[in-house]
Amino acid sequence: MRRFITSRLGRLISHLLVFTLVWPSLTLVAVTRAEAQIAVKPTWVVVDFINRAPQGGDQFGQFAAEAMASELSKTLQYDVVPMETTRRTTEQLGLVMPITSQTSLLRLAQERNASSIVTGDIVNYRVVVNGSSKHADVLVRTLVRDVASGLAVNGAALMAQSTDRSVDAQDEAIIREALTAAANQAVRAIESQTLPHATILNTYGDSALINQGARTGFYEGQRVIILRGREQVATARVHDVESDSAYVKLERSLKGIQPGDRVRAIYNVPELDSKFPSTGTSPRTKRSTERGSNAGFIQTLLLFGVLGVLLGSGRADSTNQVQDVRAEPGLFTGTQPDAIGGSPGVKISFKPDLFLRGTRQRFQYQIYRVNAPSGPAVSATGSESSAIDFVSFAASGNYYDFQGVVGGTTCTQLPAVGGFTAGPAVFGQPNQYQVELIYRLSSLDLPNPGGTVTDCFFATEKTNASGLATPLDRLTLTSPNDGDVISAPLIFTFVQATPPVPVVFDFAVELSSDSTFPAGKTVALGRLTRPGGGTYSSPLIDTQSPALPSNIRNASEVWWRVGVRNHNDSPGPVPDAIGERYIFSAPRRFTRPPLPPGGP
């Protein structure tokens, strides 16, 4: 036997036996790894959109859902349930598309074991005829709901447009094209809104410490849901935000919270107005009616009357004392837009509420960037209604830190003066802005005047701007050259500097018969959306197309420029004379060859 084992044949048989014993274990390991890889993608369900347009048409809701499912699948980030499977499951559950009940939506999602369900509204659509061509516009609002909580955690509200088609084209075809464009834009917006996540470290009564802060995108007053596994256990709001940590305060507790629970931010998707904008492609939004508990406000009103409202006591959950906050990028000289010689920055505008309209009451506005929460980026006096956050230099001024205390009934003096530490705005860096108002009241009007002090100072809560704002400089035009003679359709080329973070840009070409690009003599066309930075080319543009205004078709000299904006900014840059929200390049002109003798 020993001789056989040591022989060549014996060794071969021994190796085969060992391999036979080990092979099942190797197969099991390989299968386990493959299963782990397959389970990574979250499952999403898309249901038919609800067509709320006055014209009706359920077929458009079905098509919008199919386009959305297709665009989501292309990202390779989600396991999207096929629409045929979704409709079959809907029938098995006894439901009818489009589904309007949230309970029914969650039943469907749970039946498919999905983590998110995508719904949407076609708010309105129209077909616009312009000479010999026409196009379709659509207003679409898309929501991504978390199945565990039933809350909308992401989404997009936008206006999309089809390409110009012949007037003979079927209306339904160009409306479908616009819906496809809307789905593409919505998916890009959803993916760009990377919502922060965190984990609870410790709990303190109805508050909890989380392991993420401003650096990952959390900000004061942000609404979050708290999950344990796939189950929602609470909703909360963020407060006391620091760079690497923050606290959340419970609003609604279902099963209590504990260390290890996951915190997920919620993106509030604005409601769309059904009316199309008169100019541009930024849709109108309705003012949010969401409010927190107003019990504190009612108690204060009963105790102190209107003065209690002025003090801000109990108002943090009812209404903001700074309203209509907008952040609009642009080029500015001082505080005025200047498309020719201005410097890049962001204009933050705001209004006081009804109870702080007196100029003397308003002491100072302090404007913050959420990603630089250590101090304000810029300030404005109480009599001003806007401020500019420039890229080229950091603002200077006095900073008063009330340590997060909002309002009050006891007279307090101004805190010690601090300096600005946020630094200048960064080119190409999207920012979320917040505005805080320092206001004053006479000590005679307070229940606790605090000695002989005549002026008492308080801070409002920080109010978020309506959306992101990205400071950008003029892009560089490449061709055609200034003064070129153009006699045929052409392509405009230009260069956009690469930003420090990934940004998706919108571009538009404007033509005018006047170098100042006034209303009535200017038209925007050649729109395109591209990521990153570099050299770009417009679509082929016929500057003598019958679809263009006659002042441009017949002009011997045509002025042109190209505008740029971050696709995800809202509302976008300061509008120009025709309402287009872009940051425009310096203009160039081209001429047309003279007509032959005797005319055309």
Contact 504, 529 (CB under 8 A): yes
* Single-letter amino acid, residue 331: L
Handedness of CA 399, 403, 404, 407 (dihedral sign): negative
Torsion, Cα of 166, 528, 489, 513 (10° steps): 100
Distance in angstroms (rounded) separating the CA atoms of residues 163 and 135: 6
Q: Give the residue extent of every domain in the chain.
A: 2-38, 43-192, 197-265, 292-464, 476-591
What is the predicted pLDDT for the residue at 233? 86
Contact 425, 345 (CB under 8 A): yes
What is the predicted pLDDT for the residue at 306? 40
Give the closest residue to 339 by CA, choosing from 537, 569, 577: 577
Distance in angstroms (rounded) separating the CA atoms of residues 56 and 34: 47
Contact 544, 567 (CB under 8 A): no
What CATH superfamily classification does 43-192 receive? Answer: ABC-type transport auxiliary lipoprotein component (3.40.50.10610)
Task: Give every residue of the chain whose pLDDT is below 50, as ranges.
Answer: 32-39, 288-319, 600
Handedness of CA 143, 147, 149, 153 (dihedral sign): negative
Give the closest residue to 167 by CA, choosing from 200, 197, 130, 204: 130
Q: Considering the domain delimited by 476-591, tell me its CATH architecture.
A: Sandwich (2.60)
Distance in angstroms (rounded) separating the CA atoms of residues 308 and 441: 11
Distance in angstroms (rounded) separating the CA atoms of residues 527 and 508: 4
* Residue 307 CA neighbour count, 13 Å, CB half: 14
Residue 348: beta bridge partners?
A: 327, 387
Best CATH choice for the domain 197-265 from the list 3.60.20.10, 2.40.10.410, 1.10.10.10, 3.40.630.40: 2.40.10.410
CA distances from 35 to 28, 30, 31, 337, 582 (A): 11, 9, 6, 57, 48
What is the predicted pLDDT for the residue at 100? 85
- Cα end-to-end distance, the chain, whole Å: 109
What is the predicted pLDDT for the residue at 37? 44
Contact 158, 178 (CB under 8 A): no
CA distances from 139 to 51, 173, 325, 567 (A): 10, 16, 24, 16
Please name the residues in contact with 123: beta carbons below 8 A apart, sequence gap of 6 or more. 52, 53, 139, 140, 141, 272, 273, 274
- Tell me whether domains 197-265 and 476-591 share a fold: no
Q: What is the pLDDT of residues 203-226, one digit of tens each?
A: 887 889 999 998 888 888 888 889
Give the closest residue to 566 by CA, choosing from 271, 344, 272: 344
Residue 229 in 3-state DSSP?
Answer: coil
Supply the angle between the helices 171-192 and 58-74 in degrees, to the nearest 10. 40
Give the closest residue to 467 by CA, choosing from 246, 254, 192: 192
Distance in angstroms (rounded) separating the CA atoms of residues 339 and 332: 7
Residue 320 gets which letter from DSSP? -
Predicted structure pTM score: 0.50
* Residue 230 CA neighbour count, 13 Å, CB half: 9
The DSSP string of 511-574 is EESSTT--TTSEEEEEEEEEESSEEEEPPPB-TT-TTS-HHHHT-SEEEEEEEEEETTBSS-SP
Category of 181 on φ-ψ map: left (φ > 0), alpha (ψ -120 to 50) or beta: alpha
Q: What is the CA radius of gyration of the chain?
A: 30
Contact 439, 408 (CB under 8 A): no
Helix (H), strand (E), coil (C) string for 55-97: CCCHHHHHHHHHHHHHHHHHCCCCEECCHHHHHHHHHHCCCCC
